[in-house]
Copies of this chain bind each other. A is one copy, B any other.
Amino acid sequence: MKYRRSGRLVDMTEYLLRHPHQSVSLTFFSEKYNSAKSSISEDIGIIKEVFEQKGIGRLATSAGVSGGVIFVPTIDDKEALDTVHSICEQLKDPSRLLPGGYLYMMDIIGDPERMQLMGRIFASYFKDAQVDVVMTMATKGIPLAYAVASHLNVPVSIVRHEQRVTEGSIVSINYVSGSSQRIQTMSLSKRSLQSGARVLIIDDFMKAGGTIRGMMDLSEEFQATVVGAGVLMEAMHDKEKLVDNYVSLTKLFGVDAKDKKIHVEKGNMFP
């Protein structure tokens, strides 16, 4: 069956969006649509123009017989900033104040569309970091980690506090939670991280950075390289953080339980 250009454009757009960071050969599309490579090349040119103009992503093309295309997801600067601003506004809602100065955030973490947007922001930021795997800490970091990983086309490694019989051999380390100064244990299944892998650490919240520091040390046990870290929210506090190399989407400056004020602003990713 032969496809007309309009049908090809719809189907190719869908295919590329579902296969980020993967090289797709012109031959593949040419056979899929029973169309000449020259027509496929023109289609890709049209998609590329729209994707780049709208900030949807980059289409990196390579020429020649083995020529192909790779879709690299990005996000429009304005859309990224709008997303973060709207999260900040939502976070200022005093009804999310909990006893002990904690903030209820499950409505934001529980929203898959929001998570996908934040995932795109991080995937765009780390698009050239050659990430092999996204690492996160159970439980609340998991949704954001998957959103980032799905846009980078890499697997997720889930670090846990407790050990599970369903994980096989594990590597455990002790670490010091930076804010409470308590010694805790974190574990990762031996099979879930390859030696030499390039790791991107993603988590929902960072205070002193003890957990992320722990994941960095754990990665070292696997001879893996941490290429960066990203958090949905960092809490600003007086002491020096235990990690330098991280980006945050939002900054929590403080919570005033008496006046019911939550002071939150965009994170260090946005200058």
Which of B10, B103, B146, B189 makes the CB contact (< 8 A) with A47?
A: B10
User: Hey, what's the 0/1 contact readout for A14-54 against B, CB within 8 Å counting as 1?
Assistant: 10011000000000000000000000000000110111001
Could you show 15 A-B contacts with beta carbons less than 8 Å apart? A9-B9, A10-B13, A11-B54, A13-B14, A98-B166, A98-B168, A102-B166, A104-B167, A107-B155, A107-B191, A107-B192, A111-B155, A112-B150, A112-B153, A139-B142
CB-CB nearest 8 A-B residue pairs: A112-B150, A10-B50, A13-B13, A110-B155, A138-B139, A112-B149, A110-B156, A142-B142
Contacts of A146 in B (CB 8 A): 112, 115, 143, 146-147
Which of B17, B47, B106, B157 makes the CB contact (< 8 A) with A110?
A: B157
Tally chain A residues at the interface, Cβ within 8 Å. 55
Minimum C-beta distance from A6 to chain B (A): 5
Which of B49, B104, B143 makes the CB contact (< 8 A) with A191?
A: B104
A243 interface contact, C-beta 8 A: no
Contacts of A142 in B (CB 8 A): 139, 142-143
Which parts of A71-122 form the interface with B (CB within 8 Å)?
98-100, 102-107, 110-113, 115-116
Which parts of A164-209 form the interface with B (CB within 8 Å)?
165-168, 189, 191-192
Q: Is the CB of B139 within 8 A of A50?
A: no
A158 interface contact, C-beta 8 A: yes
Q: How far is the CA of A54 from the CA of B33 in the complex (A)?
A: 12
> Is chain A's binding surface mostly helix, strand, loop or mixed?
helix
Contacts of A50 in B (CB 8 A): 7, 10-11, 14
Q: How far is the CA of A51 from the CA of B13 in the complex (A)?
A: 11
Q: Is the CB of B143 within 8 A of A156?
A: yes
Q: How far is the CA of A154 from the CA of B112 in the complex (A)?
A: 7
A260 interface contact, C-beta 8 A: no
Q: Is the CB of A102 within 8 A of B51?
A: no
Contacts of A115 in B (CB 8 A): 146, 150
Contacts of A266 in B (CB 8 A): none
A160 interface contact, C-beta 8 A: yes
Known: A9-B9, A142-B143. A165 touches B110 (CB 8 A): no
A261 interface contact, C-beta 8 A: no
Contacts of A192 in B (CB 8 A): 106-107, 110
Q: How far is the CA of A181 from the CA of B113 in the complex (A)?
A: 38
Q: Is the CB of B14 within 8 A of A158?
A: no
